[in-house]
Amino acid sequence: MQGLLRFSRLVDGFNDKVGKLTAWLIMASVLVSSGNAMVRYIFDVSSNGWLELQWYLYSAVFLLCAGYTLSRNEHIRIDILISRYPPRLRAWIDLLGGLFFLLPMALLILWLSIPMVEESIYRNEMSSDAGGLLRWPAKLLIPLGFAFLSLQGISEIIKRIAFLKGLIPDPGGKHDSHGAEIVSQVEPV
């Protein structure tokens, strides 16, 4: 189990670095969006390439940060309910959810996206819009993002098993979402 926990720490560290670096793409997207808007209003000039670049940057943040979001326990779920459960039950829910929902979905999307990316690269696919960008870099984000999410899903499953065996503290408790913290502090009426 110690080898698996080392692997889990490596994946956590990798997704932490990817998430923090990718977050800077939000700033790049804001700058592209602002620059494009200013040029459009001041000079009455527009470019589909700049609009597509903005979409690509947003897509990169969404897809490449999925593993980071999971590692921080900030993914979408019903925290108002799960926050009331004891840590062991939450760990079982996360473990079973990871094994039967997260991993199959992420691995299936990863697997199915690879031929689409290969074809896009082979055809040197371009946007159908005038002045548009290459499509394959955006499509490549799909298998990359789901690979990072799959690795993080495996890491989370390892940590939940280790917690249930009593080897580590509650991995779900270190990054409770803000909503769960607020709900747990509310007094019953």
pLDDT score for 183: 36
What are the tens digits of pLDDT across the range 37-90? 898 889 888 888 888 899 899 999 999 999 999 999 887 776 677 778 888 998
Residue 178 has pLDDT above 50, yes or no: no
The pTM of the full predicted model, rounded to 2 decimals, is 0.82
Q: In whole angstroms, what separates CA 165 from the centre of its chain? A: 28
What are the tens digits of pLDDT across the range 153-173? 999 999 999 999 989 888 877
Q: What is the mean pLDDT of the chain?
A: 86
pLDDT score for 84: 82
Spell out the domain ranges in the chain: 2-182
* SS3 assignment for the chain: CHHHHHHHHHHHHHHHHHHHHHCHHHHHHHHHHHHHHHHHHHHCCCCHHHHHHHHHHHHHHHHHCHHHHHHCCCCCCCHHHHCCCCHHHHHHHHHHHHHHHHHHHHHHHHHHHHHHHHHHHHHCCECCCCCCCECHHHHHHHHHHHHHHHHHHHHHHHHHHHHHCCCCCCCCCCCCCHHHHHHHHCCCC
